[in-house]
Chains A and B, each alone.
Chain A
């Protein structure tokens, strides 16, 4: 194994900043080859939602699960409401579904914007590039931005300066935009990030002309903003490939993408499991799994039944041999013992040992009949655009899937003409393409929100202002909610017994992305992506920041409350694999 070669340096980043929650990344770097050879991702926080939700009233589930995450909690509330709707057999009025779609679209617009510009953007800002790759900054200052006419920054260096924390003009503008997008969100869902107006059966939002007018005026300002941002980020990311040949390898891994679909069409979605494959394909983000460029399925039932929760490196006791809550789904298909419906969460805190157990995250995998695939979400947008592009199912006035791309048309705004952007399937699943997809997906949701606004206004103008449907809680039921959280596929699996929650298992995107080595020894996506990352940073070992590793990790938009923990510096030269340090567990 290469790790006992001389020149191998152990480095840790813990906690990683500019993400959500506490993530530690522990690496071994081959300094001579400038390459990361081993990576362990660790989460050091356990709260135990699946434990303390047992025995509670199922109607409390969306209020509680929202608190899983402080940046995407509304995605959990929404997903929980979907799962409750299935369990209670209730279908909300169409207007309620349009209101939820408008709220969730605003969440995408807020979250991708703040993460892209104020968290990831700093990795590409003038100050960071000056401190890590001064040669690249010189080139950036001499490189004219191809789309300067659209965004107003003459050189790539100017774009980088505008991203400098706080002093940068665009950095501050993006912060403001994140606030206006949250206003849009609050119009529909009451408050951010934990909604107040979401309920099973619909929403409490009072649907008036004012509500939709207040949203639409803010939305059009965001649409105008995106006409600047998409070309600006294309210029920046295209420049990185040119300035640093080979940068496509940073954060690259096999194309193994998961998208659970999102933004329901109320004309089709009846929340029954029986019809889930059909209404799933009518979602405004197409669910699907892409393996090596091929769309394996768009069927939510297939997606559901293939889910497996593996252990191997996590602080839990196995539930092998314990009671199964669900042996067969409603269609008669057998449900595996390792499926979330049958999971028992048995925390077992222990010392962190990178040769054994080292994280509070588990290892969700998708079983394709042969292999337990360590799917990732590409931070969310990459998988969403990829599946939607391949499936060819989404056809609206503003967004169209072509089978190989997604066309996004933004109408005329106050000072800018109609503009069409086309996201084409990229050659790689890597850090840069995850970031690029994030920007395009902001435009995608803004365009979709226009469609939702029109449909909601049609309901109000037609006098159909009811937003809630009555329901009763059954004594026994099991159900699932699927949606796209900001960072990717999110599922909530619920089992009700005697009118109370018997089992509740939320699986957000980060547990997939930040998952750890499973019982087969397969590393999780962060680990896998970083293990292949070459180092382009110009610094010596003493001044090394690990910016390329940070860019690889942040491209996934980690969110540890939803799912998880890296270490270099002057570092420590290893002379053998088992040193008395974190990696060996011998300390």
Chain B
């Protein structure tokens, strides 16, 4: 995008600028839907234009190579070819760069020929370069690898039982203990799609880290940023009061707790009800949408069928049934006065 123009040597007419550029290579060629790219354009804390234009203090200059919004669209091997940045990175000409992966990684070895997914054409063979081949080529050269969305993180929907592609997450492909040449583990921002600000905030932190202004990103056992994914949906859900009072929605459209209708919020790590979806608006169970656990490693198989009670009809509620009734009675007494 815009700041790439200012890269030294990229365009002879540009003034020479000694400040280094962090390249962000966004690989959307996995088994995905581009929902993470689209989500990033919804972020406002910070927004993508604030990141790219350097609207926050201490950010390194970045050059974003992002299929979704990139200016460049020239032909292969020609003027303003977008894919050329990938070839440059492969030749070791871009340093530092952060590799963003969107979509899950198929098992290209489970068939005799062809490809499940590719990104760009190999100039030598005329065949697509598979996404896994790009990972093989670029991961060892990247400063950091950021897996965005539950597909890239853990396989996601496309790794559902019965899938033909053998889809898996980036940590499954590269190894859960994998570290970049700079010692940074794979960073996963799960979600289907990712909550917009969760993603832009993580990108911001990584850029500060690369610039030497922030400590190593704090990740949990599933490689998620800890500060975003340490609490459960239920802990941040404003319908938890109904749960406590033993008041459950029997029908959709009710403002009460959705657990009996299929909500998995009690066991799912995600901040959406607390944070909202966009500018504090929207969400999942807080606005009547059952949590289907889309941020979790076991998603979706372990949570289907979605529209059934997670515990098979047994809401564990021995204590609550008593205290919930008592609280309701007390409240009514106070109202009566």
Chain B interface secondary structure, helix, strand, loop or mixed?
loop
Distance A52 CA – B49 CA, assembled complex (angstroms): 38
Cβ-defined contact, B2 with A165, below 8 A: yes
B220 at the interface (CB under 8 A from A): no
Cβ-defined contact, B281 with A581, below 8 A: no
Q: Chain A nearest CB: distance from B287 CB in Å?
A: 5
B291: nearest chain-A partner, CB-CB: A196
CB-CB under 8 A from B184, the residues of chain A are none
Interface positions of B from 278 to 334, Cβ below 8 Å from A:
278-279, 281-285, 287-290, 292, 294, 300, 304-307
Stretch at the interface among B13-21, B139-147, B247-255: B247-255
Interface positions of B from 125 to 153, Cβ below 8 Å from A:
125-128
Q: Using an 8 Å CB-CB cutoff, how does the interface string of B61-84 with A read, 1 for contact, 0 for none?
A: 000000111111111111111110
Partner of B41, one of A22, A175, A569, A582: A175
Partner of A207, one of B113, B160, B193, B253: B253
Distance A179 CA – B47 CA, assembled complex (angstroms): 10
Cβ-defined contact, A73 with B31, below 8 A: no
Cβ-defined contact, A114 with B41, below 8 A: yes
CB-CB under 8 A from B258, the residues of chain A are 204
B28 at the interface (CB under 8 A from A): yes
Cβ-defined contact, B253 with A12, below 8 A: no
CB-CB under 8 A from A561, the residues of chain B are 32-34
Stretch at the interface among A261-269, A348-356, A392-400: A348-356
Cβ-defined contact, A70 with B82, below 8 A: no
In the complex where A24-B121, A60-B305 touch, is A196 in contact with B289 (Cβ < 8 A)?
Answer: yes
CB-CB under 8 A from A199, the residues of chain B are 252, 307
Q: Chain B nearest CB: distance from A362 CB in Å?
A: 16
Cβ-defined contact, A193 with B35, below 8 A: yes
Q: Chain B nearest CB: distance from A87 CB in Å?
A: 14
Cβ-defined contact, B77 with A193, below 8 A: no
Partner of B117, one of A44, A63, A470: A44
In the complex where A22-B28, A22-B119 touch, is A69 in contact with B33 (Cβ < 8 A)?
Answer: yes
Q: Chain A nearest CB: distance from B228 CB in Å?
A: 16
In the complex where A44-B118, A205-B287, A351-B114 touch, is A57 in contact with B34 (Cβ < 8 A)?
Answer: no
Partner of A190, one of B74, B83, B282: B282
Cβ-defined contact, A67 with B277, below 8 A: no
Interface centre among A46, A119, A195, A204 (most CB of B within 10 A): A204
B150: nearest chain-A partner, CB-CB: A67
Distance A539 CA – B148 CA, assembled complex (angstroms): 38
Q: Chain A nearest CB: distance from B319 CB in Å?
A: 28
Stretch at the interface among A13-21, A223-231, A365-373, A454-462: A13-21
A324 at the interface (CB under 8 A from B): no
In the complex where A59-B305, A70-B36 touch, is A570 in contact with B78 (Cβ < 8 A)?
Answer: yes
CB-CB under 8 A from B116, the residues of chain A are 45-46, 349
Cβ-defined contact, B128 with A352, below 8 A: yes
A468 at the interface (CB under 8 A from B): yes
Stretch at the interface among A417-425, A489-497, A523-531, A544-552: A544-552
B157 at the interface (CB under 8 A from A): yes
Cβ-defined contact, B279 with A352, below 8 A: no
A11 at the interface (CB under 8 A from B): yes
Interface positions of A from 524 to 573, Cβ below 8 Å from B:
539, 542-546, 550, 561, 565-571
B53 at the interface (CB under 8 A from A): yes
Q: Chain B nearest CB: distance from A447 CB in Å?
A: 23
Cβ-defined contact, A186 with B34, below 8 A: no
Stretch at the interface among B93-101, B162-170, B175-183, B210-218: B162-170
Cβ-defined contact, A70 with B42, below 8 A: no
Q: Tally chain B residues at the interface, Cβ within 8 Å.
A: 90
Partner of A12, one of B38, B69, B121: B121
Distance A407 CA – B188 CA, assembled complex (angstroms): 49
B44: nearest chain-A partner, CB-CB: A179
CB-CB under 8 A from A57, the residues of chain B are 304-305, 307
Distance A518 CA – B32 CA, assembled complex (angstroms): 26
CB-CB under 8 A from A51, the residues of chain B are 162-164
CB-CB under 8 A from B219, the residues of chain A are none
In the complex where A18-B73, A70-B38, A545-B75 touch, is A201 in contact with B163 (Cβ < 8 A)?
Answer: no
Distance A515 CA – B83 CA, assembled complex (angstroms): 24
Q: Using an 8 Å CB-CB cutoff, how does the interface string of B88-110 with A read, 1 for contact, 0 for none?
A: 00000000000000010000000
B46 at the interface (CB under 8 A from A): no
CB-CB under 8 A from B277, the residues of chain A are 186, 190-192
Distance A64 CA – B72 CA, assembled complex (angstroms): 33
Cβ-defined contact, B79 with A192, below 8 A: no
Partner of B76, one of A12, A22, A194, A465: A12
Partner of A186, one of B31, B117, B281: B281
A203 at the interface (CB under 8 A from B): yes
In the complex where A199-B307, A545-B80 touch, is A21 in contact with B283 (Cβ < 8 A)?
Answer: no
In the complex where A127-B71, A191-B277, A543-B79 touch, is A567 in contact with B121 (Cβ < 8 A)?
Answer: yes
Cβ-defined contact, B78 with A545, below 8 A: yes
Cβ-defined contact, B162 with A47, below 8 A: no
B120: nearest chain-A partner, CB-CB: A14
CB-CB under 8 A from A114, the residues of chain B are 41
Cβ-defined contact, B114 with A349, below 8 A: yes
Q: Using an 8 Å CB-CB cutoff, how does the interface string of A175-208 with B read, 1 for contact, 0 for none?
A: 1001100110011001111111101011111110
B240 at the interface (CB under 8 A from A): no
Distance A131 CA – B29 CA, assembled complex (angstroms): 28
Cβ-defined contact, B36 with A187, below 8 A: no
Distance A376 CA – B304 CA, assembled complex (angstroms): 36
In the complex where A52-B163, A166-B2, A179-B278 touch, is A204 in contact with B75 (Cβ < 8 A)?
Answer: no
Distance A187 CA – B79 CA, assembled complex (angstroms): 44
Distance A51 CA – B164 CA, assembled complex (angstroms): 7
A58: nearest chain-B partner, CB-CB: B305
Partner of A468, one of B53, B82, B251: B251
Q: Chain B nearest CB: distance from A205 CB in Å?
A: 5
Distance A24 CA – B82 CA, assembled complex (angstroms): 12
In the assembled complex, 27 residue pairs joining A and B whose CB atoms fall closer than 8 Å, in A order, are A14-B121, A17-B70, A20-B68, A21-B28, A47-B31, A51-B163, A60-B300, A64-B160, A70-B38, A119-B68, A191-B277, A192-B282, A197-B252, A199-B307, A202-B252, A206-B255, A315-B114, A349-B114, A468-B253, A544-B79, A561-B32, A561-B33, A565-B128, A568-B78, A569-B81, A570-B78, A582-B126
Taking A56-B305, A57-B307, A192-B278 as given, write out 4 further A-B residue pairs in contact, using a Cβ cutoff of 8 Å, ordered by the A residue number. A54-B162, A190-B287, A352-B128, A571-B75
